[in-house]
Structures are given as C-alpha cells and as structure tokens.
Amino acid sequence: MLANLCVQCEKNDGLLLCSKCGTPYCSKKCQNRHWKKHKEQCGKIVDKPIELVKQVELAMGLKRELEYNGIDRSNVDKLLEGMFEQCTENIRTMSSGYSSGPWNPDYSEYTGKSLCTFRDVCQEQKNGLNVEYAKYQREIASLKVQRDAITAQKTYAERELQKGSSESPLLLEIDENLKKINIELKRIKDLSKLNSNTNHSFAILLHKLHAIPKCLICGTDTDPPNTVKMCECNGAKYCSQDCQTADWDTHKMTCATYKA
C-alpha cells in the first residue's frame, strides 16, 4: 500500500519516520537536509497531543492540492505554516460551533478542550483578511484625497510662479510631499493586492475543506479523526487502510499511477 510522501523531497514514500514525532522521510539524506527546519517544529509536535500527526498528514495533502490548483508554492508554504502554528492551540477566542471538519470532535488530552481545526483557522483568518482589506481601501481613498489636494496646490503654485509672485509656495517642498504620498499609496496598494491573493488562497482551501469526499468502500467521510488515505493518482480516497486494501484489486485496474 502507498505510504506518506517524504516531507523533504515530496517524491518518494516516507518509510523512515522521525523517532520523536513520526514525520516521514524516504532516507537519512532527506531527513538530515530537513533537520534545520524540522527541529523547531519537532518539539512542538511531541509536546502536543498525538492528533497533531494527523494535522501534518492533512497539511501535506492540502499542500499538493493547492499547488495543483496553481497557487505559488512559497505562498502555500507560508499559508500552511501559519495554519499549523494556530492549529496547535486550543479554541479559545474562535467559535467552536462548527458541526464538522478535521478534528472538530477530538479533544486534547493536553488541555481537555477541542483542538483548533483547519477549517476553523481558515475561516477565522479569511474573516481577518476581509477586515484588513477594508482598512486598506479606506487608506487608499484617504491618500488619493491627499494626493489630489497636493496636486491642486502644486498647480496653483506653478501659476503664481509664472505671474512672478514672491509669495508663491516652494515647489520643491510640494513635490517632495507629493512624492511621499505616491510612495505610501503604492505601498498600501501592494499590501491590498497581497491581501487579495492570500484571501483567494483561503477561499480555495475552504472550498476544499467543505467538499470532503466519501470513502469509496464504506461511504464514511474521508475526514479526520478517520485518517485520509489517498492513492497517488488522486482518483481514490478512503477513510482507512482497511478500506483502501479492500478496494485495491478493483482500483488497480484503473489506477493511472499503478499502470505507469
């Protein structure tokens, strides 16, 4: 049966597991290469409940799906890294009223409270991005008003200068103020664009989390605490190793990866 992919190369089966947290690698070479990044997370994984191993598994699956949908790999890494950090914390400030979703029914033996789910975190982050986007739009509108006022001031100053008025405002100072406004306006517009792109990533992720398919064998949601088992061809998902094994004789007849 198919094993989890190595977290370093993401190409080979992760048959070698970290002795502390169970993170999969295909070889000692990949494990050593990943150690600098992994050592910061390893302790956090070990110190938290075992449910987090499931979160790592789902994160790797979501990462592949997001990259397949055309989201830049660096943005996917940042997105999942931030979500993983928050998923290690219990639901304190966020609503726990979601009826389904990864790990929603699970309780942490570490604290006795529900673990944060990817869906909860994703929705909460998206809500925050919407608020942030509205703030950026207000700032952009305000800066445009300031820019228009300074532009009008510059036009007046140039006319006064042509008349030979000694009371004409200093054009250099006006130009400097206009330059500062334009620089700030570009900065806020860039932040607004980044916000929109990230928000789009969360929207895709939420769609994925709300469209969890059924197990091909028993019809159970392939949603943790049932471990998601997905064939490398992405054409079959199961709720457990037993269901995947039971379907293999049939699935291998159409499995693109097996035929290749």
Q: What is the pLDDT of residues 163-218, one digit of tens each?
A: 776 555 678 888 889 999 999 999 999 888 888 877 776 776 666 655 555 666 66
Quote the CA–CA distance of 152 and 157 in Å, as a whole number.
9
80-129: pLDDT as tens digits: 666 655 555 543 333 333 333 333 344 444 444 444 556 666 677 777 78
**Collapsing DSSP states into helix, strand and coil, what is residue 115?**
strand
Residue 150: DSSP 8-state: H
CB of 4 closer than 8 Å to CB of 16? no
* pLDDT tens, residue by residue, 16-34: 777 666 677 888 888 888 8
pTM: 0.44
Domain locations in the chain as residue ranges: 1-47, 137-209, 214-260
Q: Residue 52, class by beta-carbon neighbours within 10 Å (0-12 exposed, 13-18 middle, 19+ buried)?
A: buried
